[in-house]
Amino acid sequence: MSKKLIKMLSDEEWEKKQKDLIKKENEWREKIIGFRNGQNPHPGTSPRGWSVQETRKNNIWNRVKSYSNYDETRFGPDPLDCVIDRMGRFEGIDFDSIIKHTFTLSGHIPEKNTVTMFDLNEEAEKIYSYIGMQYDENIKQTLPKQYAHPKNINVQYPGNVIPLHYDFYKNTLTELDFNFTKIRKFIIFLEDWKPGHIWAIGNTTYSHWKQGDCFTWDWIHMPHGTANIGEENRYILYLIGYMTEKSYDFYNNGNKDMRYFLS
């Protein structure tokens, strides 16, 4: 959980709810199989709201929301530090070289209304190493195919909008035993905020960041989305990995006033 996240349930109540949902959903899936084999009537809506009973169409928003312990309908906005953890700011990094790296790899400027992910260069790897997360091929099996690029330079071009959504990663409940902080995401902004660059998280909008600012959030609990309605590209480092003792130390001691001088 984020350090100041406003929760609907205590951690113990939330875990009990999830275990109950797992049991009920397994029973529901057995009934679905029986329905397809003509053994019983359709069991209706899944416990996680995966389908709507009247239409029997999938409702992915309801499904992934069922894992969350945050009420996105709260009238707010919630204070920023209740929906994200600001880790501080990286300095002494050649951010320009990271941005130029994307042009070297692409060879052209992509059309509007796209997001492109590029591999890290040596300068960007310094930040990943400093945070100290571990990355291996197993994490790709956990991520959806469209996000199976766990550490990347992420470019959002003018006109692109990623609607508000929850992240849902395959097998996270069973593999991580409800401790979602074992996989964590960090965002590092490669440039100062520019007009039209928007980061929505929970019921709060984040803007006016500075180059090198780093934040993280509880991806399983917190709906989020981004938009670039400005005239210039938005560049970030998007880092995902398994937490280690080093990265837990970075997280536990991080705050918005911390400064990390790398060279």
Q: What is the identity of the amino acid at 185? A: K
3-state SS assignment for residue 111? coil
| Residue that the structure tokens 């490669």 belong to | 190
Cβ 50 vs Cβ 64: under 8 Å: no
- 138 burial via Cβ count (<10 Å: 0-12, 13-18, 19+): exposed
Query: What pLDDT is recorded for position 147?
Result: 47
Q: What is the pLDDT of residues 131-153, one digit of tens each?
A: 998 876 555 555 554 444 668 88
Using one digit for the tens of pLDDT, what is the confidence trace for 101-134?
Answer: 887 655 555 555 567 777 788 999 999 999 998 8
Cβ–Cβ under 8 Å, residues 158 and 228: yes
Contacts with 255 (C-beta within 8 Å, 6 or more apart), sequence order: 86, 87, 88
Q: What is the pLDDT of residue 121?
A: 86
Q: Is 131 helix (H, G, I), strand (E, B) or coil?
A: helix
pLDDT at 213: 98
Q: Where are the domains of the chain?
A: 11-65, 80-261
Domain 80-261 has CATH 1.10.10.10: no
**Cis (ω within 30 of 0) for the bond into 77?**
yes
> pLDDT at residue 54 above 60?
no
Per residue in 34-49, pLDDT (tens digit) is 998 999 988 888 888 7
- The Cα 219–Cα 165 span in angstroms is 10
pLDDT in tens, 205-252: 999 999 999 999 988 888 999 999 999 999 999 998 888 999 999 999
Report whether 98 contacts 123 (CB < 8 A).
Answer: yes
How much is the mean pLDDT over the chain?
A: 83
More confident residue, 71 or 178: 71
Residue 140: the pLDDT is: 56
